Every structure is written in structure tokens, then in C-alpha cells.
Structure 1
Amino acid sequence: MSITPNNICLQCKKRKKRVEYQFCSPQCTKDAAARAPKLLKIPETHVMYKNVYETFCSKWTENVPPTISSIYLITWSANLRSSFDGYRDMVQSRTGKKECKRFRSEKRACNLGEPGSLALCQRPDCHLCKAIRTGFQSSLQYKRSIRGPDGLRLGRGIYTTPSSSKAYQYAVNIGSANGSNMKAVLSTRIVLGDPFQTKHEDPSLYEPPSGYQSVKGVTGKNSEFLDQEDVVYHEDAIRPAYLIMLKD
């Protein structure tokens, strides 16, 4: 396969991306980690863009999805990558289940992802930048700091959904991002392992029941969930993979 705009490595922009990896080589992975976290804009002709775009649109369950303005690859530090890989491999060896993709949104208090704004902010109320910087560890800490049952339908974990339209409902702009015509949704890489399936809320959860690695709120008759929810409780079970910017 020749090097084209469809498969070029987003780090070095000189060699073709390896099919099974985000970059062309271990060296480019290392170089990306050294500057992480960072947003690398994905060209619309690129295979990564096509994959994320098609998944987002196919998982939209409302009328018409919003226009995608841009998609960014999120780079990880070496520590965030190795801890995720280690947890994923451990769960896969026990359950035979591979990682998968889910959507999640975080409150955005800056203009991250808009033209000319690719640097993560340091605002204490910007949950989006904190989530990208910490690999969602800040999101888990926030959930565990909540007093009372509000927002804890399945306890103190990191909530995701296979539905892009469900995630979009939580793409909220606050603070200096108020008034922006853009919203942000994250596509994540997540390790669900063997999920405990339930139709009922349980705000008391701090971890899945014994023998499970996640909790799935399933829909159907007598269910308390209108949309599927997948929740993990281990800080290394999930990482932000792509930032999808949408015209509101």
C-alpha cells in the first residue's frame, strides 16, 4: 500500500499508518506520547476520519445527526497508554473479550476543538480538558465526590453509551464556552469485559458485582433505562480516543 492522504501517519506525516496501530511505528508512538496530551486533526480523506464519521452517524438514533466540523485524534502519555494496555490485556486473558468503542461527553468550559484552539485549558470547571489530560481519571474522581444519588443511576463509575445521539445530549458548553455554536463528543476506547446486565438503577455501586468488569443498563420491557448505558469503575478501563466537534 502506497503512502496517500488516506493512510498517512498523523505524527510524522512521512510514512503510512500501520493498519493495526494509530501511527506508522513504535518511534512515532513514542514521539506522540512525549507531547501528549495533544489533538491531531484528522483529514477528511483519512481512513481514521472515515471510521469515526461512519460510526458516529450509524449510532445516531434520533432524526438527523448534526454536521461534523472536525475530528481529532487524542494522543496519550506513555503512562496512560501502558496502564490501559495492561488492564485491557488482563481482562481479555480472563474473559476473552476485546476492547470496544463507546461515546461520552464532558462539560466544556473553553473553545477546545474549534479553529485555532487546540491547546487544553487549565480551567477548573472544564471537565473536557481534565478528562483528556487524565484519561477520564478526573471523571471517576468527580463521580465519587458526588453526595446523594443524583447523576448516579449505576453508581460512581464512568458512564458511556453506544448511542452517539445519547452522548450528544450531554455535550454541554459552560462558562466561556457559552454561546458557542460547537459541541464536543468523545469517542472512547473502553474495556467492558463481562458486563453485569440490569434493567434497574443502583446508585450504591462503587464497582461491578463480583465476577464482572462493568455494568450495562439495558433497555426493554420493565427497564428503567431508555438507552443502553455502559459503566466502568476502574480508572484504567477507558481512554478518550477521538474528539468529535459538531455544529450545534
Structure 2
Amino acid sequence: MSMKGLLKDFFTPLPRSLAPPPAVSPPTCPNCNDMPVLPNPATGGQFDYCSRTCATQAKNISSNQRQGQSGTLCEQCKRRQKFKAGTNVYRYCGRTCARLAANSRLSQAMTSPVNPLSPTYPASPWLASPGRTCRIHWCTGSVFVHHDGTPGDYCTMTHKKWGEHGCISCRAAPGSGASILCQSCYDNELRRAPAIVQVPVDHNRYKSVESQFKKSWRQGTPCPEVQAVYKVVVTEESQKRYKLYLDGVEARRNFAAKSKSRGNENRRWHGTVRKCKLGDPGNTTFCADAGCFLCSILKTSFNMAVSTQGWFGRGIYTSSTSSNSNGYSRNQGVSSDLKALLLNKVVVGNGKKLTQIDTTIVGPPAGYDSVLAEAAPGGSLIHDELIVYSNDAARPSYLVMYKSL
């Protein structure tokens, strides 16, 4: 055969039915187990890792003596070593894995038979100690350990934010605006309003209310310990009436221009009669006794028609002093070692200061929205009082339960 024939046979194309060999995918990076390794143009081959970051991490992992490496693997990625600071070894290699682990626990909790976002999910335990697990009541993660070896309250910074500043009901979402309930939980509570929702002891709002209770206790006896705080959820109609009154006062007085709260709104205490165990551990249902003024106020707010005649006429009396309001808080026909106070939002407006008792007053003096009764030398008052003369000038905001003296 001629040379031309040999070459023709040698270069004969493959049949069309024969498929080309399959492309070989580059191997996966052995550090992240996610991205393919990079090609190496210099050699025509491949690098060992997908990036310089993974190459550096893999190199560092080989040395257990390096600061920040514990010698045991991260509980999330199972590849990099747990972060180490001094003698403290953390559960994860860094913040990214800690965040991923927290999100994974949240996802599992949300898809579990008991949904923490459901309005029927049980409230946080009564003054429960966080122990060694996260204070988020549906989380079982181990708490963060500080550099000095003391345990924290939460497993991650995400849960710390939820616990201290987020929704008090689901504890898995931020509050809505100034509310301490997320929009979903707020809508659920509003549908069953009036209602009370327990505020977790580690929440910043609990601490705020507790601090006001203690700082405003000026009686000679020691200040009793706060045992529980409940957020009061009033009906939508009640909220609208209060807002309408506040807007009216603000329109007349323009407190916002004076760097004050709109309507000169303040938080003030009110003590009254309790004839049931509302507020005791596990008791959040209002009673039907008309003589239980605590439940009546929580259900329908304050009512001038049933208010008693006081030193400054018939009105709604509150005080900036918790010890003063404690004198009006009474348990009747019920055995309990706890007492109740209401912390209320009150539209003070332009208050008329008085130091002498005047029982003839039937409303705020002309040009004023309230009466500020103050204890002063030469006056007839021992404690301060704030008196408003409209049902819509005040709304209960928190129910505070404390040890009876």
C-alpha cells in the first residue's frame, strides 16, 4: 500500500455515532468541600484548593498550637477547628459558623410540631434560670463562655439580640416599631385583646420596668422584689381613642417642639384592688368579678364613672412613686404572696401644680390638661399625684407583680 493510503487510514475520522469522551470535572476543594479547585495555567494541571483563603486555612489547621485553634473540629462545618482564646474553647470555628448553627436551630424549631412562632406556644418559664443552655426558651444550645470562664446567657449574639430586644412572644423576630411584639405576634394578641403577655426576665423592657419600680420606691421599708412583668395589650378601638386624645393635646401644646414626648406622655403607677390570682405564676386570664378593679381596668381601661372622690376631685389618679401606689394595691378575698401594680401611659399635657388639697376640682383648670399634686414644704401633701379627668388620657401598659411586704 502506498504511503498516501496509510496516512488516509490513520486519519480516518471516527464514526458520527461515537460520542466524545465525557468531560472530567475538577475535584472539589478539600477544605471547604464546596467549590471546585482552581486550574493551574503554569502547569496545565490544578491547584490543591479553590482559593488562597482555603489554602491558608488548610495550612493553619495542620498546626494545633496556633492561637485560635483548639485541635477539635467545629460543630457546624466539621472541617475547621473550634476557635480558642486562652483556655476557652468555643463550639464553632468563627462567627459565620455560629450564625449558621443558630439559623439552623431556628429553622428546625419553626418546622417542628411545636412552632415557636405560633400564638399558642407556651410563654417563657416563670423566672427560670438560664443554667448552661441558651435563655431563648426554645433553644437548647450551650451558652457562650466569656474569656474569664464565666458563662453568658445566650449561645450566640443573634440570640442575645432576640432575647434582649426582640419580640417577647416568639423571641425569634425583631419588635415592630416601638412595640416589643413582632408584627405577627402583635396581630395574634390583638385578635384576642384585651390580654397580657409575660415579658421575659432577660428582656431590656423587663429591666426598664423593674428599674423604674425600684428607683421610685421611696417608702422607709425595703423595696420588694419584682417577680414578673406583663405587657398589656388593649383593644384596637381603645388604642385609637387614646391616640386621638394624645394627638389633640399635642396639637394644642406642641410638646415635640420643646424636645418632650408627644402630649407630654409619661409612665405612672396605679395601685388598685385585685380579687383574683391574675399575674400569679400561670394565671393570665381575667376574672368576671366586677369588684376586681384590676381586671376591669385591664379589660376596659380607666373609667371616670366608677372612680372615687379623691383629694383633687373625681379623676384618674396615678403617681411617679411606686411606693405611694403600693398603698392602694390590695388583695381582697384571695390568698397570694404577690401584689400588683399597673404602670400606665398617661397624657400629662400641661399640668397645673398644686400643693394644697382641693376636693372641689371637677376637671383640669382652664389652660391645663391635668393636675400635678406635689409634696412641698408648707403643703398638705405627703406624696405626689398626677390626676387626669378623661377616660382616654391614660392606658394600662404593664402589669407588675412583686412580693407582698
TM over 0.5: yes
Counterpart of 1:230 in structure 2: which amino acid?
A: L
Correspondence for 2:274 among 105, 108, 115 = 108
Relative contact order, CA 8 A, sep 6+: which one is greater? Answer: 1
Q: Does 1:118 align with 2:284?
A: yes
Alpha-carbon separation, structure 2, partners of 1:223 and 1:19:
43
Correspondence for 1:192 among 348, 359, 371 = 348
Partner of residue 47, structure 1: 204
Please state how far the C-alpha of 1:135 moved relative to its aligned partner.
Answer: 1.2
Please state how far the C-alpha of 1:19 moved relative to its aligned partner.
Answer: 5.6
Alpha-carbon separation, structure 1, partners of 2:352 and 2:264:
16
Identity across aligned pairs (percent)? 30
Q: Pairwise mapping of residues 226-241 of structure 1 onto structure 2 (< 5 A)?
A: 226-241=382-397
Compute the RMSD of aligned alpha carbons: 1.6
10-19 or 230-239, which moves further after superposition? 10-19
Alpha-carbon separation, structure 2, partners of 1:36 and 1:234:
22
Unaligned runs of 5+ in 1: none
Partner of residue 14, structure 1: 172
Correspondence for 1:74 among 232, 240, 250 = 232
Alpha-carbon separation, structure 2, partners of 1:194 and 1:173:
34
Please state how far the C-alpha of 1:5 moved relative to its aligned partner.
Answer: 1.2
Contact conserved, 1:34 with 1:78, CA < 8 A, in 2? no
Alpha-carbon separation, structure 1, partners of 2:367 and 2:186:
34
Partner of residue 90, structure 1: 248
Please state how far the C-alpha of 1:54 moved relative to its aligned partner.
Answer: 0.6
Unaligned runs of 5+ in 2: 1-156, 256-262
Please state how far the C-alpha of 1:4 moved relative to its aligned partner.
Answer: 1.9
Secondary structure of the equivalent of 2:330? coil
Partner of residue 204, structure 1: 360
Larger radius of gyration: 2
Correspondence for 1:58 among 215, 226, 235 = 215
Counterpart of 1:142 in structure 2: which amino acid?
A: V
Counterpart of 1:45 in structure 2: which amino acid?
A: D
Counterpart of 1:116 in structure 2: which amino acid?
A: G
Contact conserved, 2:166 with 2:180, CA < 8 A, in 1? no
The structure 1 segments of at least 4 consecutive aligned residues displaced by more than 4 Å after TM superposition are: none
If the length of structure 1 is used for normalisation, what is the TM-score? 0.90
Secondary structure of the equivalent of 1:44? coil
If the length of structure 2 is used for normalisation, what is the TM-score? 0.56
